[in-house]
Structure 1
């Protein structure tokens, strides 16, 4: 799994228990999955269609650094299926895993559109 982004847990990210609010973490993950899909599919019109079971395994506290990793599960006709993990870089524990998130490529009309991609591409290779 490639880890792309780090987030610093700040006071505004905490729940009343003093740990990272799950909704904040899910927002970070959804944004990172969308950005990854936009870059892979070369289209700004990407939406989250489905997330499989969300498994919270540990937490993070103020000052911790959360690292977000993504892997491609498969390329669909109009979609990209991804799995992700967030881990606490301070404790080395996995915070959350989501085995399957379906991101859908949309056309100008807002409807699913074929993207024609079949494998992971790296931006550096496109510039080659």
Structure 2
């Protein structure tokens, strides 16, 4: 899992206990996972179909930098399933994990599911190539 995206926890992101509000974390996870899926499938006509188990493990506080790690878990004919981990950039402590986030590729006109034409192996090769281009290793 690569951690490439980061956010700063701001006062407006906090709950009554002065920690990152769970709803804000879920909003960020959905957005980050969608961007990841869009890049993987090379289409921005996707919808979130399902978010599975979400586990909150430790708080994020005002001023913390949190980072998002994403990985492709499964590839279907019209869908992609990803996992997202949010962790504290400084301490590396896991804040939360959202598993089984499913996105479905849609036809832009009919809004019906359409095959995206990708396989897990192709996406893994695509990611390795992108990382080499960015000089981030394998």
TM-score, normalised to structure 1, is: 0.92
The 5 A counterparts of 1:106-121 are 106-108=106-108, 109-118=110-119, 119-120=122-123, 121=126
Partners of 1:107 and 1:66 in 2: how far apart? 34
Residue number in structure 2 paired with 1:98: 98
Partners of 1:18 and 1:8 in 2: how far apart? 14
Q: How many residues align?
A: 126
Structure 1 stretches lacking a partner, 5+ long:
none
Q: Runs of 4+ in structure 1 displaced over 2 angstroms? A: 122-125
Deviations 1:73-107 (A, max 9, x none): 11100000101100012332100012211111111
TM-score, normalised to structure 2, is: 0.86
SS of residue paired to 1:63: coil
Residue number in structure 2 paired with 1:47: 47
Q: Which has the higher helix share?
A: 2
Partners of 2:58 and 2:31 in 1: how far apart? 21
Structure 2 stretches lacking a partner, 5+ long:
134-138
Deviations 1:52-78 (A, max 9, x none): 110001110000000000000111000
How big is the alpha-carbon RMSD for the aligned residues of Structure 1 and Structure 2?
A: 1.6
Partners of 1:124 and 1:27 in 2: how far apart? 26
